[in-house]
């Protein structure tokens, strides 16, 4: 259990560093002499870096795992660089220095996205790895639930102390992760389980296309549609209390992809079911005519997003086993960053304020998730025999049989 807690804490504190950074970015930019209207371009730069480094560091983690067996020291070194860059941002007095530190921070913080999942895939038994992957996303959900309150409180302080505390906390958590890795013995059944899957997975573009659409729907829903819906029924002053509803649902269901019932079926089926039901919940959110209706739809959509996140990561690990787990999970995170890039660009360009676009925005998330469900259906149908063989091979390798 302590191993799962470490993974939760790493992702929780990583997400907190992003919250702290985003909350103070306008202040940091002003101190460095960057006009307020250019802050969105910094955020776009961050996401562009994530798109590249998530994939690159995922592939690098695969290679490092083959060469060094352990990733803890490698992750610790990149984390130290990331934390130092974050703390130094509080003192950045010129645009060049701030942008350079931001680029270093963004690039090195990617080391804590896909690579820890590679660690799970390489160092934890196949039958248990879905739970640890889901636990990692639990940390993201907790940070998301805390973000509105944390952001409101941070506005009253200077950036140095929050940056330092977040950095020290993250460094300690990664140090614990490196120590935990040394206590884990590599599972002997990874190669055996992979060998039993037969033909390789086909039409992977369907899976990753669905991931991109799910990410886009999530970004538009949480960043653009949620606050206006709350303000419509409750007013601006209630936002801090209401915004966590989505993430509370996420937290309560984040561990579902690691549960016993999910192990009986391919993760892709759980992801498909959650995307389909989530699209219905998002449609209900767009059509809600009261605050209770908005809250119920938010909670439900968040719950299904919690299932989607863990199931998608587990699916990427499964189709990448053995040797490409990092590359595929890195691509998954890279597509998430691409979705965030698209959302920020939409706002920065002002397109979201055009009447026709503003009218369509509430319906974009359910349409995106519905289309993603169709792509996942096609992907599962194309590979159903592969997933069935993989599931049986995994059960045999893990010694759980068909029970």
- Report whether pLDDT(9) > 60: yes
CA distance 363 to 235: 22
pLDDT at residue 399 is higher than 70: no
199 pLDDT exceeds 80?
no
> With bands split at pLDDT 50, 70 and 90, how would you rate the model's confidence at 49?
very high
Q: How far apart are CA 226 and CA 246, in angstroms?
A: 9
SS3 string, the chain, reads: CHHHHHHHHHHHHHHHHHHHHHHHHHHHHHHCCCCHHHHHHHHHHHHHHHHHHHHHHHHHHHHHHHHHCCCHHHHHHHHHHHHHHHHHHCCCCCHHHHHHHHHHHHHHHHHHCCHHHHHHHHHCCCCCHHHHHHHHHHHHHHHHHHHHHHHHHHCCCCCHHHHHHHHHHHHHHHHHHHHHHHHCCCCCCHHHHHHCCCCCCCCHHHHHHHHHHHHHHHHHHHHHHHHHHHHHHHCHHHHHHHCCHHHHHHHHHCCHHHCHHHHCCCHHHHHHHHHHHHHHHHHHHHHCCCHHHHHHHHHHHHHHHHHHHHHHHHHHHHHHCCCCHHHHHHHHHHHHHHHHHHHHHHHHHCHHHCHHHHHHHHHHHHHHHHHHHHHHHHHHHHHHHHHHHHHHHHHHHHCCCCC
pTM equals 0.92
194 pLDDT band, cuts 50/70/90, is low
Residue 67: what pLDDT? 73
How many domains, the chain?
1
pLDDT at residue 1, rounded to an integer: 67
Quick one: pLDDT at residue 156? 73
pLDDT band at 402 (very low <50, low <70, confident <90, very high): very low
What CA–CA distance (Å, rounded) separates 175 from 169?
10
pLDDT for 108: 95
On the question of pLDDT at 168 being above 80, the answer is: yes
Of 185, 200, 199, 188, nearest in space to 320 by CA: 200
pLDDT score of 30 more than 90: yes
Percent of the residues in the chain that have a pLDDT greater than 70, as a whole number: 93
What is the pLDDT of the chain when averaged over all its residues?
Answer: 89
Residue 284 belongs to some domain of the structure: yes
Confidence bin at 148 (pLDDT 50/70/90): confident
Domain assignment present for residue 403? The answer is no
- Window from 176-185, 212-221, 361-370 with minimum mean pLDDT: 176-185
CA–CA gap between residue 356 and residue 274 (Å, rounded): 29
pLDDT of residue 318: 87
321 band by pLDDT with thresholds 50, 70 and 90? confident
What confidence category does residue 386 fall into, taking pLDDT thresholds of 50, 70 and 90?
confident
Is 332 within a domain?
A: yes
Q: pLDDT band at 71, cuts 50/70/90?
A: confident
Mean pLDDT of 4-28: 93
**What residues make up the domain containing 199?**
2-398
The CATH number linked to 161 is: 1.20.1250.20
Report which of 182, 177, 7 is spatially closest to residue 75, judged by C-alpha positions.
177
Per-residue pLDDT band at 400 (split at 50, 70, 90): very low
Confidence of residue 155 (pLDDT cuts 50, 70, 90): confident
């Amino acid at each position: 259990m302590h191993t799962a807690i470490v993974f939760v804490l790493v992702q929780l504190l990583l997400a907190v560093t992003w919250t702290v950074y985003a909350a103070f970015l306008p202040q940091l930019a002003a101190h460095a002499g960057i006009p307020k209207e250019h802050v969105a371009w910094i955020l776009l730069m961050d996401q562009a870096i994530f798109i590249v480094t998530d994939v690159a560091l995922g592939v690098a983690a695969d290679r490092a795992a083959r060469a060094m067996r352990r990733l803890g020291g490698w992750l610790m070194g990149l984390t130290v660089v990331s934390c130092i860059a974050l703390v130094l941002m509080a003192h950045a007095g010129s645009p060049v220095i701030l942008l350079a530190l931001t680029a270093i921070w963004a690039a090195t913080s990617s080391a804590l996205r896909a690579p820890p999942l590679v660690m799970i895939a390489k160092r934890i038994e196949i039958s248990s790895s879905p739970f640890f992957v889901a636990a990692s996303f639990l940390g993201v959900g907790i940070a998301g639930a805390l973000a509105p309150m944390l952001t409101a409180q941070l506005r009253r302080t200077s950036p140095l102390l929050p940056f330092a505390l977040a950095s020290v906390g993250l460094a300690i958590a990664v140090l614990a992760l490196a120590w935990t890795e040394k206590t884990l013995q590599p599972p002997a059944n990874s190669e055996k389980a992979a060998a039993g899957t037969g033909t390789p997975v086909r039409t992977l573009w369907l899976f990753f296309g669905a991931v991109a659409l799910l990410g886009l729907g999530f970004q538009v829903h949480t960043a653009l549609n949620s606050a206006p819906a709350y303000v419509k029924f409750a007013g601006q002053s209630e936002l801090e209390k209401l915004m966590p509803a989505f993430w509370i649902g996420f937290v309560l269901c984040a561990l579902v992809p690691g549960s016993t019932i999910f192990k009986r079926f391919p993760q892709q089926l759980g992801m498909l079911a959650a995307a389909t039901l989530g699209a219905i919940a998002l449609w209900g959110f767009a059509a809600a005519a009261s605050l209770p209706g908005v809250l119920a739809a938010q909670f439900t959509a968040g719950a299904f997003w919690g299932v989607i996140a863990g199931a998608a990561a587990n699916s990427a690990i499964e189709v990448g086993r053995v040797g490409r787990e990092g590359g595929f999970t890195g691509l998954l995170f890279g597509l998430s960053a691409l979705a965030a890039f698209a959302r920020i660009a939409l706002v920065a360009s002002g397109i979201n304020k055009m009447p026709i676009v503003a009218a369509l925005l509430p319906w974009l998330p359910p349409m995106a998730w519905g289309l993603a469900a169709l792509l996942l259906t096609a992907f599962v149908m194309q590979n159903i025999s592969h997933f069935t063989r993989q599931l049986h091979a995994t059960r045999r390798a893990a010694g759980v049989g068909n029970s």
